[in-house]
Amino acid sequence: MRHRRALTRRQVLKASAGALPLVIAAATASAQAAYPTRPVKVVIPYPPAGGADTVGRLLFQKLGEMWGAQFVIDNRGGAGGTIAAAAVAKAERDGYTIMYDATAHSVNPSLYANLPYDTVKDFQAVFLAALITNLLVVNKSVDVQSVADVIALAKATPGGLDWASSGNGTVQHLALEMFRHRAGIKLNHIPYRGGGPVLNDLIGGQVKFYFSNAAASIGHVQAGTLKCIAHTGRGRLAALPDVPAVAETLPGFEAYEWNGVFVPAGTPADIVDKLNGGLNAVLRQPDIAARLRQLNVESRENTPEEFRAFVAAERNGEMGARGARGQYQAGIADDVGLLLLHVHGRECSAGKGAMRGEDSTPRSMDGSCIASYVTAASD
């Protein structure tokens, strides 16, 4: 009978050291599977009551209900979303700080020379949440009923019309620049720090004209507190079937924006995948799907890889990507170069391009062709 030699102290320590990485890996996997075990902060780089805030709250409230978890909204407006983005870029890579941003994420590198973060290296794309049209809304006292009326009023007003936006470089800003260029009128840009404050002043009469994120303003339109003249999408909107598109008066005029979820780069892949899967599951909930339709928000299930490619196309194309069901394609609107000259005084270096070798025709989420559009920062 062979006797087993007793292990030496050195052998025990060596064996324990060898097993340590396995123990750590198992503990990490277990922690990620249990995620989240405490409240998760969702940073929205815009004030409350704007479009991004409206949709972001809707999605994360539902995700919290489904997971039995708490997602705490932290609105940090200012500087086109860069203040919030800088804070998130420096946050712990543990999944407990999330950013719900908008097209500003891809536009800001062209507007700000010295961002305190790297848009590409400091963030991990998680989920494309929404594509949203805008509404041309006016104070109820304004005596206009159509886009043609607005154009006529602008031409008849000495010095032009004062027109609000949710901030420099936002889609609302670029939409008014495109409107000014296409209509050949004078508009005086009045930038705010988010869409919520604009809507408050628009209702109060401090400002009279605004291109608003539909998700933020459609309730005011349906309640009769604001007058909607037109929308910036194609065709007619299901929730506002009597409201025409701006393109019916100015052919080719379209302006969309997107919302999406990011985490600091280096966040564990398991957490990224769990967040993505959870948010896709949120989209499948009948009550959420119905509410998004009411808000005129387009959405579809997507992966982190698809959203990462989408953001890259937006960034590289200076506002050029558009989602299509089953694929993402990229392109550039004919007016983008002119609009960027209006916004920050330098030539747009982007050219027409496409992702994955596909054609460069811009498309909406239903795959229909978009002749000309602008995408930029959400409110």
Residues 6+ apart with CB under 8 A from 68: none
Angle at 291 between CA 290 and CA 295, to 5 degrees: 120
**What are the tokens at 235?**
């065709």
Tens digits of residue pLDDT in 303-345: 999 999 999 888 775 333 333 222 222 222 333 333 443 433 3
Per the prediction, the chain carries an average pLDDT of: 80
| Residue ranges covered by each domain of the chain | 40-131+257-318, 134-255
Fold of 40-131+257-318: D-Maltodextrin-Binding Protein; domain 2 (3.40.190)
The contacts found for 150-157 with CB under 8 angstroms, 24 or more apart, are 150/209, 150/229, 151/183, 151/185, 151/249, 154/183, 154/185, 154/186, 154/187, 155/185
Say if 40-131+257-318 and 134-255 have the same CATH topology: yes
pLDDT at 6 over 70: no
Tens digits of residue pLDDT in 250-259: 999 988 889 9
Tens digits of residue pLDDT in 150-189: 999 999 999 999 999 988 878 888 899 999 999 999 999 9
Please report which confidence band the pLDDT of residue 19 belongs to, taking 50, 70 and 90 as the band edges.
low
**What are the tokens at 313?**
């196309």
Tens digits of residue pLDDT in 113-149: 889 999 999 999 999 999 999 999 999 999 999 999 9
Domain at 134-255, CATH class: alpha beta
pTM for this entry: 0.72
Q: Which residue has the higher pLDDT, 359 or 224?
A: 224
Dihedral sign for Cα 365, 132, 42, 310, please: positive
Question: Residue 29, Cβ neighbours under 10 Å: how many?
Answer: 12
pLDDT at 354 over 70: no
The alpha carbon of 250 is separated from its chain's Cα centroid by a whole number of angstroms, namely 25
What pLDDT was estimated at residue 317?
A: 57
- Residue 72, classed as helix, strand or coil, is strand
104-111 helix and 304-316 helix, angle to the nearest 10 degrees? 30
